[in-house]
Amino acid sequence: MMPLGEDGPRWKKRAQDVREIYEFRETLGTGAFSEVVLAEERTSRKLVAIKCIAKAALEGKETSLENEIAVLHKIKHPNIVALDDIYESGGHLYLIMQLVSGGELFDRIVEKGFYTERDASQLIRQILDAVRYLHDMGIVHRDLKPENLLYYSPDPDSKIMISDFGLSKIEGSGSVMSTACGTPGYVAPEVLAQRPYSKAVDCWSIGVIAYILLCGYPPFYDENDAKLFEQILRAEYEFDSPYWDDISESAKDFIQRLMEKDPSKRFTCEQALQHPWIAGDTALDKNIHQSVSEQIKKNFAKSKWKQAFNATAVVRHMRKLQLGTSQEGPGQTIPTSPCELLEAGASHGADSRGCERSLGPSCHRPPQD
């Protein structure tokens, strides 16, 4: 395969019919102008997820797609979804993605019988490590949220994976971005203020995710978008009683360092990785499963999640095939295992229209008793 190039065609493999290479199994999800299918490579029997994009639907969106491909093609990290190949066949582009088989973050937490601050800390550490890697490469994710966090495998100790790079941006040297992208409850104040922003926006989002992982509800909520944005712009959030009564002061300090209104004072991923709640032993081992899972079920109803990819369909299919899971060795790929990971959201793109769509109404409800 030719290296990714600025001129477009060099990164594509051409095939008369991609189905001669892959056997298509079932549709996993549908996006704005793409479909994701579960497929098996005929020679290796390796299961993959294929993002099928109709070229006719790309008119005016070519830049967005090329941005997504350029980002994905550069990334090689154990906690980030990988793009294996790109094919052009007939009227479609096919992005061959690793397949994730472990299901969604919230499902796993709810299904657990035991869940602690330490579990949340270990999840956030993996996310920080992956996002630090992206930032070191000059890539800003811009749409980090729990829905984009999927488990590698059904294994109880499975690692977490970051997916969906539809809004990612590769920074030029010293550049700042000002396109308002993201999902309302997770975007940093400077994005809503339409001020230039950079990597610090991802650190804010990780703070929001950490907040949710410890209580089960989002830090900002209002039925009215304008009021929601006002809360975020002022960085107005609280550690409400009784939900936060059993959470350590160290965890709260960690969140405050990331959910800092001033991006210049906000912790970087590197600084966050050195915080005692991540690097030390201040994360508590007290079981907080009941309260957190109850709030997750109330505040993040499945029907509200606007995901193109149904991770549950993969889990169901794996069980149907009765495939065992591979051991997660460093850099190991076992072709007959239920494989790896998937990026599969609709490509929202970084153009203004895509951003307006993605800044639509929030789907969350406030804490409920």
Q: Please name every residue paired with 36 in a beta bridge, in sequence order, or none if there are none.
A: 29, 51
302 is in an annotated binding site: no
Q: Which amino acid is at 266?
A: R
Q: Cβ-count burial of 68 within 10 angstroms (0-12 exposed, 13-18 middle, 19+ buried)? A: buried
Sequence-ordered alpha helix ranges (H) in 115-199? 117-136, 189-192
Q: Strands 139-140 and 169-170, how do they pair? A: antiparallel
Q: Does the active-site annotation cover 143?
A: yes
Q: Which of 85, 107, 119, 143 is flagged as catalytic?
A: 143
- C-alpha distances in Å from residue 134, one per residue of 40, 47, 138, 238: 29, 26, 6, 30
DSSP string, 28-94: EEE-SSEEEEEEEETTT--EEEEEEEEGGGGTTTHHHHHHHHHHHHH---TTB--EEEEEEETTEEE
Parallel, antiparallel, or unpaired for β 83-89 and 13-14? parallel
Q: What are the helix (H) ranges across the chain? A: 62-74, 105-111, 117-136, 189-192, 200-215, 225-233, 249-258, 269-273, 276-279, 289-299, 311-321, 352-358
Are 198 and 176 a contacting pair, CB within 8 Å? yes
Rounded CA gap, 209 and 351, in Å? 25
Long-range contact set of residues 316-325: C-beta below 8 Å, sequence gap at least 24? 317/25, 317/26, 317/38, 318/101, 318/154, 325/101, 325/153, 325/154, 325/155
* Cα 342 from Cα 12, distance rounded (Å): 19
Which residues are documented as binding site?
Answer: 55
Which residues are documented as binding site for ATP?
Answer: 55
Active site residues: 143
